[in-house]
Amino acid sequence: MTMRPLAAVAIAAALSIGAAACGGTTKNSSSNDSKAGAASSAKADPNAPLKKGLKVAFLPKQVNNPYETIVDNAGIAGAKEYGGEAKEVGPSDASASSQISYINTLIQQRMDAILIAANDPNAVCGPLKQAMSHKIKVVSYDSDASKDCRNVFINQASSEEIGRSEIKVISDLIGGKGKIAILSATANATNQNTWIGFMKDELKKPEYSGLQLVKVAYGDDDDQKSFQQTQGLLQAYPDLKGIIAPTTVGIAAAARYISGSKYKGKVAVSGLGTPNQMRKFVKDGTVGKFELWDPKNLGYLASYAAAALASGQITGAEGEKFKAGKLGERTIGKDGEVILGPPTVFDKSNIDNYNF
Ligand code: RAM
């Protein structure tokens, strides 16, 4: 297979050195911060009303990703319902270093809550802890930050179910036999890496012994790079049978490349995409089926969680409940995680029923 595990270890080591160095600069503010995250020492008051005028900021992986735009706009609309002032700020590339300067600015702007889709679980940790030490609530959504750097994580669906089901879908599409590759987002993205971990585990099952994962490629959630990476995969493995792209940017680029190439009809593309971006590729047969949750509900749920935290209704501890507007009551699970719900599988039979 690939050199990924080694590279990942090297990156993790480098990051922990960085985090330690960073810790030195934040020492003064971190004394009452050690319990930040799900285990916040404050007491929850489930009957506290949602505060009016809460200042809430969404910091997505990157701003020019149609998926993130849908999520954040729905979160901003949710904030209007509870009388908050919400905005979206963020980088145009999905990098953690660019997210850090946005976090620092949001701290200066005295936000009540920061919502972040982390480009790296550790690299944003120091600044997020700083935010929490300034009584700013931190919600990770879509892509988690390390547990001690946020109060809750709003997960789109069970990470395990997403990962395992992606293998089942590609296996169905290629008849359980042949080489497959994964076209991911960025190498440090928490969500994709978690899903890929479960995909690899699923591949160990006897029913998938006919599948061979030959490569995990990274398109960085950049359309052009994802397109080129797909091209590169086919150059390196001309007998590839399937590509799983667990990113809306990646799957759209992979499908576009395959659908316009001699591999159309020979290489199946699947993964996670938006129905509007994938419709033509489902109709032309390049993508048999793919999955996604409702991105609007993800942003809306995250927005209400931020308001509940900032109003003292919840602290992020397991078992606490809050009301998420039209989505109803939600309960915080283990490790401060709230799961939106199971994803939908889209194919020719239902794709025209969806418009996002
Ligand atoms: C991309 C991003 C996002 C992911 C979706 C499925 O838009 O990588 O984080 O959740 O794909």
Name 243's bridge partners: 181, 269
Each domain of the chain, given as residue ranges in start order, spans 4-157+294-341, 159-292
Residue to mutate, 143, 272, 340, 346, ligand 1, most ligand atoms under 8 Å from C-beta: 272
Say whether 159-292 and 4-157+294-341 share the same fold. yes
Q: What is the DSSP letter of 83?
A: T
Q: What is the pLDDT of residue 42?
A: 75
Under 8 Å between Cβ of 114 and 102? no
Domain 159-292 has CATH 3.40.50.2300: yes
Residue to mutate, 192, 244, 294, 339, ligand 1, most ligand atoms under 8 Å from C-beta: 192
Q: Is 119 in the pocket of ligand 1 (CB under 6 A)?
A: no
List CB contacts of 193: < 8 A, sequence separation 6 or more: 8, 184
- Strands 321-323 vs 329-331: parallel, antiparallel or unpaired: antiparallel
| CA–CA separation, 130 and 3 (whole Å) | 35
List CB contacts of 170: < 8 A, sequence separation 6 or more: 180, 211, 242, 244, 268, 270
In ligand 1, the atom with minimum distance to the C-alpha of 67 is: 7
CATH of domain 4-157+294-341: 3.40.50.2300
Q: What is the pLDDT of residue 41?
A: 60
What's the predicted TM-score (pTM) here? 0.89
Q: What is the pLDDT of residue 249?
A: 98
Q: What is the pLDDT of residue 37?
A: 47
Q: Is 162 in the pocket of ligand 1 (CB under 6 A)?
A: no
Q: Whose CA is nearest to atom 11 of ligand 1?
A: 247
CA dihedral 62, 64, 67, 71 (to 10 degrees): 70
Q: Whose CA is nearest to atom 3 of ligand 1?
A: 247
> Residue 294 — left, alpha, or beta (φ > 0 → left; ψ -120 to 50 → alpha)?
beta
Q: What is the DSSP letter of 147?
A: G
Per-residue pLDDT of the chain (356 residues; tens, 9 = 90+): 333 343 443 444 334 333 333 333 333 333 333 334 444 567 899 999 999 999 999 999 999 999 999 999 999 999 999 999 999 999 999 999 999 999 999 999 999 999 999 999 999 999 999 999 999 999 999 999 999 999 999 999 999 999 999 999 999 999 999 999 999 999 999 999 999 999 999 999 999 999 999 999 999 999 999 999 999 999 999 999 999 999 999 999 999 999 999 999 999 999 999 999 999 999 999 999 999 999 999 999 999 999 999 999 999 999 999 999 999 999 999 999 999 999 999 999 999 999 99
Cα–ligand 1 centroid distance for 26 (angstroms):
31
Cα–ligand 1 centroid distance for 10 (angstroms):
24
Q: Is 298 in the pocket of ligand 1 (CB under 6 A)?
A: no
